[in-house]
Amino acid sequence: MNNTQSSKRGLWLVGAIVALAIGAASLGVGIFLAVSSSSGNPTTARDSVVYIWTDWVDPDTGDAWGASGSGFFIGDKGRDPEYLVTNAHVVEGPLTAGNGEILVVFSAAQNDFVVPEVKHVDYDKDLAILRLSEPTTKRRPLEFTRVSDVEVGQTVYALGYPAAAAESSSYSPKDVGDMSTTKGIISRITSSAFANVQAYEMDTAIHPGNSGGPLVTEDGAVIGINTWKAEETMNFAIVIDELLPVLRTNELPYSIASANTAPIILAFALALLGLAGGFVLGWRWLALGRVAVPVGAAPPAAVTARTARAAGPGPGRPVLAVDSKKPVLRGVTGRYAGSRFDVDHRVVIGRDAARCHIVFDRSVPGISAVHCSVTYDQTARRFLIEDHGSSYGTFLGSGQKVAPNLPTALAAGDTFYLAERSNSFVAGLE
């Protein structure tokens, strides 16, 4: 090899090393941006949540009532919000009684609260939207992540103001620092027996007072509205997609979370160019060094071998097996006539929204706070109905009264009613 050729070879080597270094650095930048490009985290989502207090007087009995819940702000990213979302049952008391008040509390310690306008309420979906008299600088709007981008097993966080946490403290200021955050995973995505909505089943702990608060991802984007619990480790949140038609119909602002992919794409493009340049320059360096490379030689078998992959479902949310027949309740008469409720766990019926899945408001006479419940025995393939000591009774379709606190069998197709036949349901397999 002469001096000129040696000099060229050295230059090609330096160029190859520099190109490879640029490619590796760009690849590292791309990975870093991919990891760090999320919109936030569960802690930043706390800046969107508020405590909601309601009180009212029962017009029939004169009894004074009070209840609490949570809510979160929505709107355009970067703008002061004026709309917030909660559950309908959180604000139902004053609305059905026709008296009392609803308070959005920013901080009880500073006596900082406002009385909102009820912009929209949907008892069937258990959703409500409140509006402040003017945009606030004290909270920021949350961004949404749709159910199609959520996977079973994903880590999620429930934010809100559970009443039990407040009662266990000597003083509860109800500001951002007093909020509770619980962590869990999505167990499945299912339809709801509580309301006519799609819901997340999760092991994330929620309690009375959490109702209306957001369920957020590790990036701090809201995917659902915490609504009810069936068992200690079986809790449910309405998927945020159920809210979107309401927002569009009322022309209300909202934001969908999305990563800023431009820097990531640029970094990976630089990485590919750098790595490609490094390989080209390195090959030229090898050629100048007269390294023998057989022309037209067949590549190693390991390179040409292809591993056959059977066709199957791609990555994403698993497809859940569904039985051909599912136990359900259908409303026959009254408020829930025509409504369907899946009986995939114990379905509680009554007036207490914190403990019941099918909820009757106070305008329906004869319904107790926790009136009755229905379960399905998979082994015996039969329904079981249990009256929980209701004042006006639970009855089979024949008119026979169900004995309190004693499960009574129902076959598919049997009907029952609460207090009066105007509150009838039928059990069935569909």
CATH code of the domain covering residue 195:
2.40.10.120
| Domain assignment of residue 237, yes or no | yes
Q: Are residues 242 and 197 in the same domain?
A: yes
Determine the pLDDT at residue 271: 58
What's the rounded mean pLDDT across residues 139-161?
Answer: 94
pLDDT-derived band at 424 (thresholds 50, 70, 90) equals: very high
Q: Are residues 350 and 374 in the same domain?
A: yes
| Domain assignment of residue 62, yes or no | yes
Please name which of 207, 198, 228, 190 lies closest in space to residue 88, comparing C-alpha atoms: 228
Q: Are residues 2 and 45 in the same domain?
A: no
Q: Are residues 24 and 112 in the same domain?
A: no
pLDDT-derived band at 350 (thresholds 50, 70, 90) equals: very high
Q: Are residues 48 and 27 in the same domain?
A: no
| pLDDT at residue 423 greater than cutoff 60 | yes
Determine the pLDDT at residue 4: 52
Domain C-terminal end among 230, 256, 282: 256
| Domain assignment of residue 314, yes or no | no
- Which residues, at least 6 apart from 83, have a Cβ–Cβ distance to it below 8 Å? 73, 74, 75, 119, 129, 130, 131, 132, 252, 253
| Domain assignment of residue 320, yes or no | no
326 or 268: which leads in pLDDT: 326
What's the rounded mean pLDDT across residues 36-63?
Answer: 83
Number of domains in the chain: 3
Determine the pLDDT at residue 288: 52
Q: Are residues 226 and 146 in the same domain?
A: yes
In whole angstroms, give the CA distance from residue 421 to residue 419.
7
**For the chain, what percent of residues have pLDDT higher than 90?**
50
Taking the whole predicted model, whether its pTM rises above 0.85 is answered as no
Domain that holds residue 379: 327-429
Q: Are residues 73 and 157 in the same domain?
A: yes
- Which residues, at least 6 apart from 84, have a Cβ–Cβ distance to it below 8 Å? 50, 71, 72, 73, 74, 104, 116, 129, 130, 132
- Between 25-34, 47-56, 390-399, 413-422, the lowest mean confidence (pLDDT) is in 25-34
The answer to whether the beta carbons of residues 64 and 55 sit under 8 Å apart is yes
| Domain assignment of residue 214, yes or no | yes
What average pLDDT is seen over the chain?
80
What's the rounded mean pLDDT across residues 244-265?
Answer: 78
Q: Are residues 8 and 109 in the same domain?
A: no
Q: Are residues 21 and 87 in the same domain?
A: no
Q: Are residues 33 and 151 in the same domain?
A: no
Q: Are residues 420 and 366 in the same domain?
A: yes
| Domain assignment of residue 100, yes or no | yes
| pLDDT at residue 116 greater than cutoff 60 | yes
Q: What is the pLDDT of residues 365-377, one digit of tens each?
A: 999 999 999 999 8
Q: How far apart are the first and last CA of the chain?
A: 84
| Domain assignment of residue 306, yes or no | no
Determine the pLDDT at residue 229: 79
Q: Are residues 214 and 284 in the same domain?
A: no
Domain C-terminal end among 290, 307, 342: 290
